[in-house]
Structure 1
Amino acid sequence: MVRAFYAILLAAWWVVPVWAQTSTVDPDDLTLSVTVEPLPDPLMRQEMVLITIHGIYKRHITLESLEQPDFDGFNWMQLGQDHWFESLLDGRPVKNMRRRMAVFPDKTGTLEIGPFKHHLTLLDENNKWFEHTITSEPVTINVTPEPQSDDWWFPVRGLRVSDDWSNAPDQLSKGEGVLRVIRISALGASPDMIPPMPELTSPSALIFAHPEKRLVDLTSRGPEAIAFWRWTVTPTNGHSAILEPITFSYFDTVAREMREVSIAPQRVAFGDVVGAPVSDQRTPVETSRIHPLVLRICGIIAFLSGVLAVTRGETLSRYYLRQRLRSWRLQCQLRWAIWRHDMAGVRASAHAIDQLYGYSIERSELLSELDSHLFGRSFDPNIPEKFAFRLRQTLLIGGLHTNVH
């Protein structure tokens, strides 16, 4: 018992000095540092630089406030909220604060990230509050100018481009227009760094440009800037139109080289017009295609459902089986498009499914809701909530068309 008592006292003797509150602050008790991730050589203007502000605190903190420098010569973003956590230092628990930021040098030469100041409220030996401030060391960064070019300077760590349509652009009904949405997603960039929305041109089409939308997602790898370029296109000659290609360049900060995005010419036509397809696209622009394996699975499911119906004694015509198979394929395409967040594919599949079934007020309202997301005054890139489930429920009301026209 005595040995246990002395052991407790010894443990308390080690712990108390760590948390002892005095008006005298040991510099080692509170530290603040700024770490810059490894930089390329040379670092060019507007390239993203990730920094980490890290504080270690051996004292109890009552209140705190982190003051940032002016960031003269930089644009900056904070990547989420400050992260507070505990760790062990020399076998003793300490508090930690970590803040992640992305900065973009907007000037060239030797730039300085000034000191961060952490204003802390501590306790003294009489449990009275007093103010204390710790400061980080400044950091200098050398920045070189970008290569001379007439193109828009656009440095990114990763770039994704998708080209989506509200419905098939070469199968339009007479007088119908089609919505084209190009999505630019740039990792390591701020929204203002994305090139301006280009002018979409065609000698034989009426083109209405919608207001451009830009936003940013904050990720652990840095900000991801996103832009939506949107146009509504209608052929004006009663037949078809060819949209001119869209090109822009960017600087790959990982490979350290200039690259070009080229979206090939696109044919827009009414459904009764037959013409040669436009040339293949020369750049990796995402397209919406359903995986062949998904189609095979849908075919197997449709075949098994037909066999099951026959075993139950139902009389199925060959036409009905074809319609059932097509329904399964379209529903699989719909789920695939939702999974890919392909709004054009979702709309095309949903309207094709609607043509297979009898009229339903609920389904008509649901399709109108989807169209309002695409064609409304405020474009919404998100798919309506539980869209596939709600559409499937409407199919129980109106059965498949069984008459052959």
Structure 2
Amino acid sequence: MVRLALLILSLSVCAAQAEEGLGEKTLSFVPHPTSSSIIQGEMVLTTLRGIYDRKIALEKMTLSPSADFDWIQLGPDRWREERIEGRAFLTFERPLAIFPKHGGLSNFGPAEHDLTIITAAGDRQPMTVKAQPLTLSVSPMPEEPIDSPHGMHGLTPYERETAWRFASSRVEAEESFSADPSALKDGETVTRTVTLRAWGVLPEMLPPRPAIDEEWLITFTTPTERRLERTPQGPVATVVWRWSFRPETGEPGVIRAIPIPFFNTLTREMDRIEIPAMSIGYASFASSQIQGGETSPASRWGTVLALLLGMGGGLALLGRSYAPERTGAFGAAWARLRRRLAPGPFLRLRAAARGGDLLALRGAAEAWLSAREAQSPARLARLESLDRAIYGGGAENFDASAFLKGFLRGR
């Protein structure tokens, strides 16, 4: 009789609890990683999901701060009715994107859902449902900023020390200019705008504005702009950098390319995107060279013609004065003098240097040396450097103008 009484009492308590709404209620974090290995800083899509068997009048969600993660809510909470194993439930879902800050085991959460439920009797009853912290195993970001056959050798020491790495599935860079930077007006300032976009990244994870510091360039900057776009697939971050440049001299210069390394979450390797190099200078520099007789076709041919006429007249006078004695040692000296004064080798040498034709420059330099018999060690060393550029693969970076100046001076 005692056992029967206890059983009846237990059933009564269970029925009373069911009437009061103390039924099945769960809340949990559901991660959706795209890879079995999660990298530090990589986005992990996560759903905070609740399953409730009662109607809810009021609710408030509290997510505890986490020192191991950054996170963002991607959209509004979703409430809907679902049938699970033949039973009707009210479900709650909050879409999140979480980003582990460190390697190792990292915890996100916990969360508490404060509810006011409606019991079967129509009464309102407060209740709190808790979600246990989500624990993820995170691998550290690879130490090498650039995963390539050359490793980090393609970066300068400054870039190796300050390389800013982040994880993204896709990175794009666009640039625009307020004017043509290679043909600026005297005293004009050009503004360069670079827009960097990255998918699966928060704005503060994108790198700071690269430093551009050249002695021949005056540089101004504006504050960096950072923007965030929320999508169901994750956040899209945008950073905008602006520089205003003004050359100190009219001579053209080149601002080097800027590499932006990042971990590609699709290929699971280090990757890079590059802001291309840019040329900058005043258009008046070229016109000043024309006024100085360096590049103007009219002035160039006028100078050549005057030189030829003058040298021709001098040679004719020499020929008439010493015609009877053009034999023996004097004849050889006469031949050397004509080769030395002949303008052809020099003109071909200068034309090849201006045209950037290294093979033509090599032939013209050899002809000039032969005419002048001026094969000094310094000039031969210059020829060796030209040969290395032609046959060693360095033709793109060879400075033909500097070669010509040093070659003619014998330095």
Please report the TM-score for the alignment, with normalisation by the length of structure 1: 0.57
1:192 is aligned to 2:204: yes
Match of 1:62, SS state, is strand
1:22 paired with 2:34, answer no
* Residue-by-residue CA offset, 1:287-307 (whole Å, 9 max, x unaligned): xxxxxxxxxxxxxxxxxxxxx
The alignment yields a C-alpha RMSD, in angstroms, of 2.5
Shift of 1:91: 6.0
Residue 166 of structure 1 is matched in structure 2 by 178
**Cα offset, 1:125, TM superposition:** 4.6
Paired residues of 1:66 and 1:116 also in contact (CA < 8 A): yes
Cα contact 2:109–2:133 (8 A) shared by 1: yes
Aligned 8 A contact 1:21 1:127 in 2: no
Partner Cα separation in structure 1 for residue 275 and residue 109 of structure 2: 43
Mapping of residues 357-372 of structure 1, within 5 Å = none
Q: Tell me whether 1:221 sits opposite 2:221 in the alignment.
A: no
Is 2:250–2:284's contact at 8 Å kept on the other side of the alignment?
no
Shift of 1:182: 0.8
CA distance in structure 1 between the aligned counterparts of 2:53 and 2:139, rounded to whole angstroms: 41
- 8 A contact 1:58–1:95 mirrored in 2: yes
User: Structure 1 240/132 Cα, relative in aligned 2: closer, same or farther at 3 Å?
Assistant: same
Counterparts of residues 59-78 of structure 1 (less than 5 Å): 59-78=54-73
Amino acid of the residue matched to residue 130 of structure 2?
T
Please, which runs of 5 or more residues in structure 2 have no aligned partner?
Answer: 1-16, 145-160, 288-411
Structure 2 letter corresponding to 1:101: L
**1:204 touches 1:242 (CA, 8 Å); kept in 2?**
no
Instruction: Give yes or no for contact 2:76–2:94 (8 Å, CA) kept in 1.
Output: yes
Task: Name 1:35's counterpart in structure 2.
Answer: 30
Structure 1 gaps of 5+ residues are 1-19, 276-405
Distance 1:56 1:167 in 2: 59
In structure 1, distance between residues paired with 2:176 and 2:225: 15
Helix, strand or coil at the partner of 2:182: coil
Alpha-carbon offset, residue 65 of structure 1: 0.8
Letter in 2 for 1:48: M
For residues 264 and 115 of structure 1, the distance between their equivalents in structure 2, rounded to whole angstroms, comes to 45
2:98 corresponds to? 103
Distance 2:23 2:87 in 1: 16
What is the 5 A alignment of 1:3-402?
A: 22-27=19-24, 30-89=25-84, 94-149=89-144, 150=161, 151-272=163-284
Q: What is the SS of the residue equivalent to 2:38?
A: coil
Task: Tell me how far 1:152 sits from its aligned partner.
Answer: 1.9
Counterpart-to-counterpart distance in 2, 1:208 and 1:106: 33
State the alpha-carbon separation in 1 of the partners of residues 276 and 286 from structure 2.
Answer: 19
Deviation by residue 1:100-142 (Cα, 9 ceiling, x = unmatched): 1111111222122233221110123543321112223432211
Cα 1:178–1:21 change in 2 (3 A) is farther
Shift of 1:273: 5.0
C-alpha change, 1:39 and 1:264, in structure 2 (3 Å) is: closer
Q: Distance in 2 between matches of 1:272 and 1:92?
A: 82
Distance 1:238 1:145, change over 3 A: same
CA distance in 2, matches of 1:161, 1:199: 17
Q: For residues 200 and 112 of structure 2, what CA distance do their matches in structure 1 show? A: 26
Distance 2:215 2:65 in 1: 50
Deviation at 1:239, TM superposition (A): 4.5
Distance in 2 between the 1:264 and 1:273 partners?
Answer: 24
Q: Distance in 2 between matches of 1:147 and 1:124?
A: 54
- Contact 2:21/2:54 (CA < 8 Å) preserved in 1? no
Task: Give the TM-score normalised by structure 2.
Answer: 0.57
* Matches of 2:82 and 2:178, distance apart in 1: 52
Which structure has the greater CA radius of gyration? Answer: 2
CA distance in 2, matches of 1:47, 1:76: 11
Instruction: Write the deviation string for residues 156-212 of structure 1: whole angstroms up to 9, x where unpaired.
Output: 121111111123222333322111011111111122211121112334322112111
Q: Which amino acid is 1:131 matched to? A: P
Shift of 1:222: 1.1
Give the AA of the match of 1:260.
R
